[in-house]
Structure 1
């Protein structure tokens, strides 16, 4: 049993080994996560991954939120002794796409009490695709023709424009004259970023778990992104990988359907861990990270893509500041930074573009953050999400983890 109770899937060649989940430098960084502990009092635990094994920190830090709120999270994670649960490869081998052994720990999404936020339209390429979605009104068959028209008018001119600048405002006036201005261009090159709530607290899935697309969506795609971990003081203390699963046909019909397109059962994946900032890893590495995507279908279709953080049009610090401008997050938040990647390869028919099929394996990987492995299923076919805040707090209480320390 785990927080987001995806049913077991058959093990196969696409199962993730520990070598393909860890960052390129293995356990050199400060990696923390959350696991589901088996037993009579089963439940989630905050863990640190070390060369000596996986260590349960939940007696000192019952929630990831409480660990990230310490003055120096990486130091706290390294110096807290904790109880050894298993070897790292044992945990990772039980957290792949194959069926999990319920008698052994397995990985969950690394966040718990944090609100899950997402920034959209933060790259020029994704901005163009959002405009195409809007112009196509969610009809994938119209996208190819519209793409040539839109790129012809605005194309590469967006890549070097700083949002909110005088140059951006001049381009806005030009596009308005051509009748091409849209709400996506407003958040793409205007002063205000798009920041929305991606998922409820505790609803995200982790590596090895199924991700969900609605069965009534015929045009959808993965969005491979870097996800920042931000504490209650607004400090960026770490980073992870995420899949901001997107239903292009639904959002394309109307931007007011964003919630229906973005927030569904299993539609938010984060993991495999949070890599905490320390002397060897920080915001500069995040700014230069390259995120790789691979989608492999049962039909033999394969899609590859990259998300190059150096091409982002809004700095991560600016996106965090805009998220905090008029709101507080006393338990911290996770922030998806957006993606350069927007798939346009045809899958089923010429001009039809890319869309997921049930059974697709999605791997999102980067050098500093490891690899997030998920398999696509219909949201309605996934086990219902039931481990919410009441269940979480009750579980911590039953395990004796609410003995006065901060959550």
Structure 2
């Protein structure tokens, strides 16, 4: 199943989408108003999230398809982390932007992956909401990524993430990475959380990204997540090793879709990322 969180006044409702039918799970269990609570319920009884949801769909009212266009963040993780240099083209792009290119090649070939903190909930937006580009950066790019949704360190689903980045700030000095990655509206997630059962093997998924400006497509490309040099399980293992992980977290897995070096995002651009079996995440761009 795929899960969305819809706003209803000052409250939220958890919607489970099974095929073409959407069920309001919160109408059956009012406290079940977010994906995190569904994951907690599933963990408490030792089953998958779909199994808990399936036990409620017989009583749950259905939701009209047009209601699913709601731009609410589908999952509110306590922390968003990200992995870098997980694809060959990503490694090449990072080398091109940096004055110390050998550092990225070393990470690409090393046993230990790059894992870094990306965003808090206050810096993360949902589908249809604007992602931000820094006003003090001249080279800003979107980075489309598969997001692993984790409960207590275990994979419970997948989403789409946009790891917006200031490449000139990062390239100037690697110590500036937090400023290049972590700022207002630096990350988007959505449009849903697809359960691990819904997705199956994430390395079989295709991913695409398009960027439009003034109605014209300025970038359009696709890749396979199977091109990653790391596995999702490997990245999760390093993310949680020797650390206290949040109860509900998202780990972005890196990208291989990188616009040409002469491209930078501008306000009013629109970025659309699609991943097979999950959906499409679209965000306009603003300067922050």
Q: TM-score, normalised by structure 2?
A: 0.90
Contact persistence 2:269–2:285 (CA under 8 A):
yes
**TM-fit CA distance, 1:59:** 1.9
Contact persistence 1:229–1:335 (CA under 8 A):
yes
**TM-fit CA distance, 1:52:** 4.2
**TM-fit CA distance, 1:181:** 6.0
Question: 1:334-349 alignment to 2 at 5 Å?
Answer: 334-344=250-260
Q: Tell me the equivalent position of 1:118.
A: 82
**TM-fit CA distance, 1:55:** 0.8
**SS of the residue 2:216 aligns to:** coil
Matched, 1:90 2:87: no
Rg comparison, structure with higher value: 1
Q: Tell me the equivalent position of 1:221.
A: 141
Distance 1:218 1:181, change over 3 A: closer
What does the per-residue CA deviation read over 1:219-238, in whole Å, with 9 as the maximum and x for residues that have no partner? 11111111011110x22111
What does the per-residue CA deviation read over 1:162-199, in whole Å, with 9 as the maximum and x for residues that have no partner? xxxxxxxxxxxxxxxxxx76322232111211111110
1:55 to 1, 18, 24: 24
Q: Tell me the equivalent position of 1:267.
A: 186
Contact persistence 2:2–2:16 (CA under 8 A):
yes
Question: 1:69-80 alignment to 2 at 5 Å?
Answer: 69=40, 70=42, 71=46, 72-80=48-56
Question: Higher strand proportion, which one?
Answer: 2
Question: 1:186-335 alignment to 2 at 5 Å?
Answer: 186-232=106-152, 234-278=153-197, 281-282=199-200, 284=201, 286-298=202-214, 300=216, 302-335=218-251
Distance 1:287 1:84, change over 3 A: same
Q: Tell me the equivalent position of 2:277.
A: 368
**TM-fit CA distance, 1:330:** 4.2
**TM-fit CA distance, 1:301:** 5.0
Contact persistence 2:25–2:53 (CA under 8 A):
no
Cα distance in 2 for partners of 1:108, 1:327 equals: 30
Root-mean-square deviation (Å): 2.0
Q: Tell me the equivalent position of 1:25.
A: none
Cα distance in 2 for partners of 1:85, 1:207 equals: 22
Cα distance in 2 for partners of 1:78, 1:112 equals: 22
**TM-fit CA distance, 1:125:** 0.9
Q: Tell me the equivalent position of 1:182.
A: 102
Cα distance in 2 for partners of 1:83, 1:73 equals: 16
Matched, 1:107 2:71: yes
Cα distance in 1 for partners of 2:87, 2:167 equals: 17
